[in-house]
Amino acid sequence: MADVVYLHLGLPKTGTTYLQDRLALNRATLARHGVRYPVGPHDDMFRPALDLVERRWAGVGNDVGGEWDALVRRVRRAKGTVVVSHEILAGADRDQVERAVTSLAPAELHLVLTARDIARQVPAEWQERLKHQDVSSYRRFARRVRKNPRSDTAKSFWRVQDLTRVLERWSRQLTPDRVHVVTVPPPGGAPSELWHRFCRAIAVDPAWAPLDSVRRNPSIGAAESVMLRRLNTRLRAEGLGYDGYAELVRQLIVHDTLAVAENPRKVTLPPDAYDWADEVADRWHDWLVGSGVDVVGDLVDLRPVRPDPDAPWHDPDRPGQRAVAHATMDALVAVIMEADRRPGPDDQLVARVGKVARRLRDR
């Protein structure tokens, strides 16, 4: 059995894709230093995490039984230090937490949680939901998160985005010195700074993982988000399945095309929401200081950065139509080029997406 297990819970949208990919890329060199990242036959730990939290996921979920136990067996075979990481672990309930903690005993268990200020998390989470076929407007999503705690939207958001609730569920059996909160650096910094902070939390020399990752789970601009939301509505009516959506929309259109657009207009909190965001930051700060857990980075990083009071706020639900049309054309070109690249006389799935995209362009 491993001597020490570092269990990285997320939170979602805190650089987890980058961290996990860098761990995977450097598995061999890390192993030479006694650090294992036992992903098994898959590229990540999504399936074991899904099994633990007992969630269904479009395209996955019916065939993940036993994946957590298989991960535990890999941990038990390992020597030295083991790192386990997936952001959906943040949503585990108390019984699932108990199962995880018990199954990883008698190794010395440490929790690692990466955290980012709530002003960046709200728009990032909205966009992430759009990438999974949601059709909610930003205004509705943000209002429910802020003012309607009993709504399904708010419950699902806070379950994985409220660092105090996540740590209260996960850390009941651990001493504060075994709980590590890594703050995500402010915008504009090098991704390597997050990696260095993460390495300090898991007691790893950054030099043991020299290969950098180019994988990201980036946000998109306001116009691109509106285009995606409209496209989701049309594709829902067309009956596009999960596999086609994941390949053609989330990967091809969003990640490969829209996410690399030049100078997108960022989605930000409404100006009147920053007092609320500061209250969340105050609550997090007081809990972290009072709990005595190990904080890697600066607690100031969890404080929302207010915009210039004279700067105009652009409603993400109402971007310029020219910008939306431009994003639509980019998406349409990407789909057509993909259809042209594929072998065979006709790909009905690509043709259907192209048809919907053309209708959206002409709207």
DSSP assignments along 265-321, one per residue: PPP---GGGHHHHHHHHHHHHHHHHHHT-EEES-GGGGS--PPPTTSPPPPTTS--H
Residue 141 and residue 144: Cα distance in Å, rounded? 5
Task: Measure the CA–CA gap between 227 and 261, rounded to whole angstroms.
Answer: 13
- State the Cα–Cα distance between residues 50 and 57, nearest whole angstrom: 8
Q: Dump strand ranges (E) for the chain.
A: 4-8, 35-36, 81-85, 108-115, 179-183, 294-296
In DSSP terms, 217 is beta-bridged to none
Tell me how far apart the alpha carbons of residues 128 and 139 are, in angstroms, rounded to a whole number: 15
pLDDT of residue 233: 94
Span between the terminal Cα atoms of the chain, in Å: 60
Q: What is the pLDDT, as a whole number, of residue 141?
A: 97
What is the CB neighbour count within 10 angstroms for residue 10? 24
- Please report the sign of the dihedral spanned by the C-alpha atoms of residue 59, residue 15, residue 251, residue 220: positive
Residue 130's pLDDT is 96
**C-alpha dihedral over 97, 110, 125, 221, to 10 degrees?**
-160
Of 297, 346, 310, nearest in space to 288 by CA: 297
Q: Is 168 helix (H, G, I), strand (E, B) or coil?
A: helix
Segments of the chain assigned to CATH 3.40.50.300: 4-132+148-208
CB 182 within 8 A of CB 301: no
- Separation CA 20–CA 6 (nearest Å): 13
Q: Is 28 exposed, middle or buried (0-12, 13-18, 19+ CB in 10 A)?
A: exposed
Residue type, 148: N
3/99 Cα distance (integer angstroms): 19
- Give the C-alpha separation, 79 to 347, whole Å: 49
| Neighbouring-strand partners of residue 109 | 5
Cα 188 from Cα 255, distance rounded (Å): 20
From the number of C-beta atoms within 10 Å of its C-beta (0-12, 13-18, 19+), residue 41 rates as exposed
| Predicted pLDDT of residue 281 | 98
This prediction has a pTM of: 0.91
Tally Cβ neighbours within 10 Å of residue 69: 13
Q: What CATH number belongs to 4-132+148-208?
A: 3.40.50.300
Per-residue DSSP letter, 107: S
- Residue by residue, pLDDT tens for the chain (363 residues) are 789 999 999 999 999 999 999 999 999 999 999 999 999 888 899 999 999 998 776 555 568 889 999 999 999 999 999 999 999 999 999 999 999 999 999 999 999 999 999 999 999 999 999 999 999 999 999 999 999 999 999 999 999 999 999 999 999 999 999 999 999 999 877 778 999 999 999 999 999 999 998 877 778 999 999 999 999 999 998 888 888 899 999 999 999 999 988 888 999 999 999 999 999 999 999 999 999 999 999 999 999 999 998 999 999 999 999 999 999 999 999 988 888 887 765 556 556 656 665 665 555
